Amino acid sequence: SQVQDVQVAKVKKAKNMAFAFDIDGVLVHGDRLIPEGQRALDILNGDNELGIKIPHIFLTNGSGKPEKARCDQLTKILQNPVSTDQFIQSHTPMSALADYYETVLVVGGEGYKCREVAEVYGFKDIVVPNDIVAWDPTIAPYRVFTDEERATSKPRDFTKVEIGAILVFSDSRDYATDMQIIMDLLQSENGRFGTKAKDPVSQRIPIYFSQGDLLCPTEHWTPRMSQGAFRIGLEAMYRALTGVDLERVVYGKPELATYKYADEVITSWMDQIHGEEKLPENIYMIGDNPASDIIGGNMYGWNTCLVRTGVFQGGDNDENNPANFGVFPNVLEAVQTALRKQL
């Protein structure tokens, strides 16, 4: 019948779409649920007129915890399943670096948690700044070291260790100590403490940052500085002290590599949901930050939806990076509008 034909056509269209959700400022504020987020996910998990699942992934610049732990936490908050197979946080694609470096310095977050993240990624020899402070406290003259920090540190003689790369995974909890240690390493001979490179470029070890956001919304009334601000500080210091520019690699939104990675995740998630491993034609990115979610999605040819529950607080649309599908009061309105358009 005609009704059935319409239904079949709708299912076909539904199978050609997917959503990519930003997390902070779209679905949650910290650990607090944005209620429209739960409803939006209920709909995509099958509570819709077709009764089918519509694939969605989570693409966040958040960091600092292993994927499994973060997904379990989000599952509870959102009251909807969040699998590690549909989840990308800022440092997720950095797991590929485990094949390239034997020993790495992992910076940011609560020291031991990022050590755990790096272990999950398969890094063999992981150093965190606290290990270095525990070995030689004079390296960070103003640092006050707690008993708990000492207990989770793994000091050794770092003049005998070659650190192959610096990986900034998450926000620094102590700019002074982390910047000092990073600057010492960047100016060392091949990542060995107690040495000073003759040539600042050829003997310099690489540095990677998991994301570039300048600002992050928090409980404070105006956003707080994030990893991008930390990086800019380091770049300025490095230039002032050595006279050369610091080469670095940045992951996360809006970097192209992260969107390419997201394509792979969407493609395999399509297989789990629809039994067909292909990239859908219509991908909707829902985000709150024009400078990361929206600019990245626009460049990548996705349909971008900007919501008003996070960083963006402007007028009709963002002036520099306007969302191409529209601006919405919240994530539920964005999802409903996208479904109406596609189906």
Binding positions for ligand G3P, rule: CB under 6 A? 22-25, 60-62, 213, 216, 226, 289
CA distance linking residue 87 with residue 59, whole number of Å: 6
Q: Which residues pair with 284 in a beta bridge?
A: 19, 303
Q: What mask, x for binding Mg ion by CB under 5 A, covers residues 268 to 307?
A: --------------------xx------------------
Shortest Cβ distance from residue 94 to ligand G3P (Å)?
A: 15
Tokens of 122: 């398969």
Q: Rounded to the nearest whole angstrom, what is the least distance from the CB of residue 22 to ligand G3P in the complex?
A: 5
Helices (H) and strands (E) in the chain, counts: 11, 15
Measured from the CB atom, the residue of 188 and 227 that comes closer to ligand G3P is 227
**22 touching Mg ion, by CB under 5 A:** yes
**Residue 37 is a binding residue for Mg ion (CB under 5 A):** no
Q: Is position 25 an interface residue for Mg ion (rule: CB under 5 A)?
A: yes
For the bound state, the minimum distance from the C-beta of residue 102 to Mg ion, rounded and expressed in Å, comes to 35
Please check whether residue 266 is in contact with residue 57, taking contact to mean a CB–CB distance below 8 angstroms: yes
- Judged by beta carbon distances under 5 to 8 A according to partner kind, the member of ligand G3P, Mg ion, none in contact with residue 60 is ligand G3P
* Closer Cβ to Mg ion, 118 or 306, answer by number: 306
Count of residues touching Mg ion (by CB under 5 A):
5
**The length of the chain, given as a count of residues:** 343
CA distances to 170, 283, 318 from 306, in Å: 25, 14, 9
Asked if 305 and 286 count as a contact pair (C-beta separation under 8 A), the reply is yes
**Can you read off the two tokens belonging to residue 155?**
């000091």
**What is the nearest approach in angstroms of Mg ion to the Cβ of residue 27?**
9
Question: Does residue 67 touch Mg ion according to CB under 5 A?
Answer: no
Minimum Å gap between C-beta 328 and ligand G3P is 16
At a CB cut-off of 8 Å and minimum separation 6, what does 129 contact? 105, 107, 111, 174, 177, 178, 181
40/186 with CB nearer ligand G3P:
40
318 scored as a contact of Mg ion (CB under 5 A): no
Candidates 18, 24, 188, 296; binder of Mg ion (CB under 5 A) is 24
Q: Which is nearer to ligand G3P, 130 or 289 (CB)?
A: 289
C-alpha torsion 89→264→276→71, nearest 10: -10
**Shortest CB 50 distance to ligand G3P, Å:** 28
213 binds Mg ion (CB under 5 A): no
Long-range contacts of 74-81 (CB under 8 A, 24+ apart): 74/23, 74/27, 74/28, 77/28, 77/31, 77/32, 77/33, 78/27, 78/28, 78/33, 78/37, 78/38, 78/41, 79/38, 80/38, 80/41, 80/42, 80/45, 81/45
Residue (61 or 177) nearer to Mg ion, CB: 61
> What is the C-alpha separation between 178 and 184, in angstroms, rounded?
10
CB atoms near residue 278 (< 10 Å)? 12
Q: CB-wise, 55 or 62, nearer to ligand G3P?
A: 62
Asked whether position 228 contacts Mg ion by CB under 5 A, the answer is no
Nearer to ligand G3P, 211 or 303 (CB): 211
- The residue of the chain with the least Cβ separation from Mg ion equals 25
**Does residue 174 touch Mg ion according to CB under 5 A?**
no
Q: Which residues bind Mg ion (CB under 5 A)?
A: 22, 24-25, 288-289
